[in-house]
Amino acid sequence: MSIFEEKTYHAKCGGLSNEGLGVARIESDKAKENGMKVFVEDLLPGELAKIHITSREKTFAYGEKAELVQASPNRVTPVCSEFSRCGGCQIQHADYSCQLKMKEDMVRSCLHRIGHISLNDLNQLMEPIIGAQDQYFYRNNVQYPIEYSNTKKSVNIGLYEKKTHKIVEHEKCYLVHPSAEVIRGVAQIYFSDHSRSSLAKHLCQLIVRVGFFSKEMMVILVSTRPIKLDAEDFVRECETALSKAQIGMHISSIWTQEKKSSTRKGSSDCWTNVWGKPYIHEFLEHRVFRISPDAFFQVNSKQTVQLYSKVREYLRYDGALPRLLVDLYCGTGSIGIFCSSVCHHLVGIESVESAVIDARANSTANYLENAEFFCGKAEDYDFGVMMPDAVVIDPPRKGCDEKLLHELLRLAPTRIVYVSCNPSTLARDLHRLFQYQETNNVRYAIRSICPVDMFPQTVHIETVVLLSRDR
């Protein structure tokens, strides 16, 4: 036990961090640590606990819970027996109403602290969070690590324990679509057969992608060396198990992905479609989307409809349909195509070539004649004389490049819809945009902010922000 762990403090939790840790303050008038901010696992807002400090930084500390003195009325027993060990969920110990409030507070806190937006303005601008109808079994994409045991000549397939690369043996994951767990069970037995040990020892990951509405499934086996898979035999085993489980899903595509060394310059992974179609489909409202093995697609199909519907609503903010809508970081074109009915012409920009190919195919499959998709980095793209009325941005977690923010001010669309999966980088980008516009003749104002819960039982949250041009 370290010198910090020997002393116990009373601390009250006031909120949740972006990582799902309780943000507590030490309450002890006699201790020099009184008022210190401590991040503690397994604490909910309003709870009082006895804690040990495990490590200190300059302005805060990390601690662990020694005893829960006063529990929150929102604390519940997690449905998953491995919740305390597995790194997949962070807030399964809170009821869903509490989860939604914590996520709203997280968005509000980031926009206030990092984005420098006043709390009064935020209270007026923020819409109520859009919660999920299904809080479990919603993920359409899961990546299971595979561990091979040389002594047992078998594989273990599961999810990683928190902060480790140790696989947690679990009965089922309550986040992923049940069909993915069926495939995991089949693969565990199939690749543990001694006759397949030469293949199994090179496997490092099992990826399952599910068309929630299309009922199509894709299985990707990731390896460190070339592997020879009897795909027909593996599919038969999977289909038998899926039929027995009466889930109504079927395998449509099998891929292998050979991982190349990250230290070798110019090397790229080798993808092979070993069985079935090279892609699966998913339906969102009246639109159909093709999903390739490496393509990004939102992990919660049902909530994606809610998210994209909010984007579509914001695009019609002033009642006028945009003549030209530019969709940046467009991926497979899902947002733009979903919203194509509210614009006269759509242009999508995406840096991943395979995603652009999918976007063009999706445009054709949905009979769109007003859409074009181009390959290039959003921040480096030459927009030329393009004059969009509206721009949608859906960047990765790291947010937007500063060059792109400057380019947005030059393009000066009448409205910008920012879709973010990271409240911190969203707040940073909004603050930068408002700073940069001080030297421009263009002025934007936030009109509305709406959090959308795409990831129940986790701390992750999507946020949609509408900005419109004042002049």
Instruction: List, by residue number, the catalytic residues.
Output: 421
What's the rounded Cα separation, in Å, for the pair 313 and 189?
Answer: 48
Query: CA–CA separation, 20 vs 33, rounded Å?
Result: 23
CA 333/CA 352 separation, integer angstroms: 12
3-state DSSP: the chain helix, strand, coil percent, rounded to 5?
A: 25, 30, 40
* Rounded Cα gap, residues 468 and 471, in angstroms: 9
Amino acid at 14: G
Contact 123, 104 (CB under 8 A): no
**Cβ contact 430:446 at 8 Å:** yes
DSSP state of 262: T
Q: CA-to-CA distance for 66 and 49, rounded, in angstroms?
A: 7
Residue among 185, 190, 189, 147 at smallest CA distance from 168:
147
Which residues are within 8 A (CB) of 459 and not within 5 positions of it... i.e. 6 or more apart?
16, 17, 18, 19, 20, 90, 91, 102, 103, 106
Q: DSSP of 133-190, one letter per residue?
A: S--SS-BSEEEEEEEEETTTTEEEE-EEBTTSSPEEP-S--SSB-HHHHHHHHHHHHH
Phi-psi region of 412 (alpha: psi -120 to 50; beta: other; left: phi over 0): left
Handedness of CA 432, 438, 441, 446 (dihedral sign): positive
Task: State how beta strands 60-70 and 48-56 pair.
Answer: antiparallel
Q: Give the separation between CA 298 and CA 308, rounded to whole angstroms.
A: 11
User: What amino acid is encoded at 205 in this protein?
Assistant: Q
| Type of residue at 210 | V
Q: What are the structure tokens assigned to 120, written together? A: 């009064």
Q: 449 φ, ψ to 5°?
A: -135, 130
Residue corresponding to tokens 């970081």: 329
For residue 215, report the phi and psi dihedrals to the nearest 5 degrees.
70, 15
Closest CA to 417 of 325, 324, 297: 325
Given the structure tokens 């947690």, which residue do they identify? 168
